[in-house]
Chains A and B, each alone.
Chain A
């Protein structure tokens, strides 16, 4: 078995070796080998990540940032080492600009409530794309209700591509914030965030990029993007659930008021008034998911060891292979055919509801997502109630794509009689 180190040079994955590192891929579902194609919902975890979390509880467990005892110091070191690996992963300028959260959703809510409530006024405009996940829509709707700001969608075309002309004309001095999903979870579209950030900055607006679906597929450099906020979740990067990251531009984070109050986020507490802790702790009230935070480093190390370029090349190959079969499949229509896509294949089948597809596939051991993918505006845009979505990760194989289409044949046979 090759060590993953060697595969960087090969720029081709040794899939047997990779798959052996993910314990769950060896289980059976309904007496069939699991074909896990729901990676856009959450990725499976390699042994090193599971082991890191286990090791934390078996060897390091203590509360962080507060104990003088040895365990607390070691736990703090491990947690802060993870923050540093996130910094390097996103090429952020300094570790204190990275806030640990419960996930992308909490990170966006943090910005909406802290930055938004302090800065938005009636009539101010927030732009978000029509392909946002609900988590980059609803937090802004909440802050709009609180401040009188207005939320405006940036339209998309029939292929799932953003209408950049419309975007340019929507931008104005009234625009204060632009929320952009880096990669659409429902369509797979990769949005031209760097260009859009430049345009937003030209009118004085800030930009928050939702990177939940991006970080496992493409390298991200927040300084090159010049974004003001970037968010992602560990569990979509082969890491644990319950941990996310908010990167923020230092000067903005400094000015923003705390969001949640509690322990760890203060420097002095008096009944006459309290003082806030410095960054990043000002935004980290309460005991966090320490084990998950520590395991996130293991996930980043794992991905780095293989290399995002190598992973992306493999996934692009899988997507091409799957897209070809999808085009040839009678009655199947792909939803989301942007020229730049990650390995997400969303589709509908004529006369067959995605939920029925999902159940029948499940009985064949094939796990896909069916539904609106927390992107109801996308479904509305294409006038469909739901889609079936297969999403591929670094451990998926051509044989698994074949299994997907074999199972889809069975669906069609059942329904067409």
Chain B
């Protein structure tokens, strides 16, 4: 049972109930659609850049489980103020966090670390990474991405 509480932390329930940056933001420069064929979850991610080249607007639409919704919500918060290169680096860090594959930088990940519990639930890793793969696709100019 302790594993289950590791996965479903209060922060995750909070972001699932009240997702931040839900919907299309006022400024959109990049968008991409992510799809998880395993559970049928869909997510559209929007990103807008400020004049300084940093991400100023983020938003997402779609339907998903608590893990995928919370992950998208936390991600869109974390992205604000980041350059493209920093966003890409965060994607790599998040991937390492949920896969448990390499060293992570806790300072970089910050609040996103509440999703570390996903490591123990291999069937749910794709839920946590759907938003992030969609981000990766948006940064690389791809319109659609599937986690399969």
- A-side residues, CB < 8 A to B, are 352-356, 359-360, 363, 370-372, 376, 379, 385-386, 414-415, 417
- Are the C-beta atoms of B39 and A370 separated by less than 8 Å? yes
Identity of the chain B residue whose Cβ is nearest the Cβ of A353 in the assembled complex: B65
Closest B residue to A370 by beta carbon equals B39
Residues of B near A417 (CB, < 8 A) are 13
Tell me if B64 and A353 are in contact (CB < 8 A).
Answer: yes
- Is B96 an interface residue, CB under 8 A from the partner? no
Would B4 and A355 count as touching, CB distance under 8 A?
no
Determine whether the beta carbon of A356 is less than 8 Å from that of B40.
no
Residues of A with C-beta under 8 A to B41: 355, 385
Is there a chain A Cβ closer than 8 Å to B7's Cβ?
Answer: yes
| Contacting residues, chain B, for A371 (C-beta < 8 A) | 38-40
Say yes or no: A372 contacts B4, CB within 8 Å: no
Residues of chain A within 8 A (CB-CB) of B66 are: 352-353, 356, 415
B147 contacts across to A, CB distance below 8 A: none
B85 within 8 A of A: no
B1: CB under 8 A from chain A?
yes
B43 to chain A, nearest CB (A): 11
User: What separation, in Å, do the CA atoms of A386 and B64 have in the docked complex?
Assistant: 10
B16 to chain A, nearest CB (A): 8
CB pair A385 B40 closer than 8 Å: yes
B123-135 interface bits toward A, Cβ cutoff 8 Å, 1 = contact, 0 = none? 1100100000000
CA distance A178 to B88 in the complex (A): 50
Give Cα A355–Cα B130 distance, bound, in whole angstroms.
14
Q: B123 to A379, Cβ gap below 8 A?
A: no
Q: What residues of chain B lie closer than 8 Å to A379, measured between beta carbons?
A: 40
Of B3, B13, B124, the contact of A355 (CB 8 Å cutoff): B124
Can you name the residue of chain A whose Cβ is closest to the Cβ of B38? A371
Interface size class of chain B, counting residues whose CB lies under 8 Å from the partner chain = 20 to 34
- Chain B residue numbers with a CB within 8 Å of A370 are 39
In the complex the two chains form, is A355's CB within 8 Å of B1's CB?
A: no
Q: How far is the CA of A370 from the CA of B4 in the complex (A)?
A: 18
Asked whether B102 is an interface residue with its Cβ less than 8 Å from the other chain, the reply is no
- Chosen A-B contacts, 21 in total, with CB atoms closer than 8 Å, are A353-B39, A353-B64, A353-B69, A355-B39, A355-B127, A356-B8, A356-B66, A359-B4, A359-B7, A359-B124, A360-B8, A363-B1, A385-B39, A385-B40, A385-B41, A385-B42, A385-B64, A386-B40, A414-B4, A414-B13, A415-B66
Assembly CA distance A355 to B41 (angstroms): 10
A49 to B69, CA, bound (A): 44
* B65→A376 contact, CB < 8 A: no
Return chain B residues, CB-CB under 8 Å to A360: 4, 8
A386 to B39, CA, bound (A): 7
Q: Does B63 contact A (CB under 8 A)?
A: yes
A352, A359, A363, A385: the one contacting B63 at CB < 8 Å is A385
* A376 CA / B40 CA spacing, docked (Å): 8
Is the Cβ of A354 less than 8 Å from the Cβ of B39? Answer: yes
4 other A-B residue contacts (CB within 8 Å) besides A359-B7, A414-B4: A355-B65, A371-B38, A372-B40, A385-B42
A-B CB proximity, top 5 nearest: A353-B65, A355-B65, A385-B40, A372-B40, A363-B4
- Chain A CB within 8 A of B67 CB: yes
Q: Using CB atoms, name the residue of chain B closest to A387.
A: B40
Distance A414 CA – B1 CA, assembled complex (angstroms): 12
* Cβ–Cβ < 8 Å partners of B3 in chain A: 363
How far is the CB of A181 from the nearest CB of chain B, in Å? 19
Min CB gap A353→B, angstroms: 4
> Which residues in A have their C-beta under 8 angstroms from that of B124?
355, 359
Q: B8-24 CB contact bits vs A (8 Å, 1 = yes)?
A: 10000100000000000
A150 to chain B, nearest CB (A): 26
**CA of A57 to CA of B98, assembled, Å:** 42
Query: Whole-angstrom distance between the alpha carbons of A370 and B124 in the complex?
Result: 12
**CB closest chain-B residue, reference A357:** B65
A125 to chain B minimum Cβ distance, whole angstroms, is: 28
Inter-chain contact A359/B123, CB cutoff 8 Å: yes
What 1/0 flags go to B59-88 for Cβ under 8 Å of A? 000011111010000000000000000000
B39 to chain A, nearest CB (A): 5
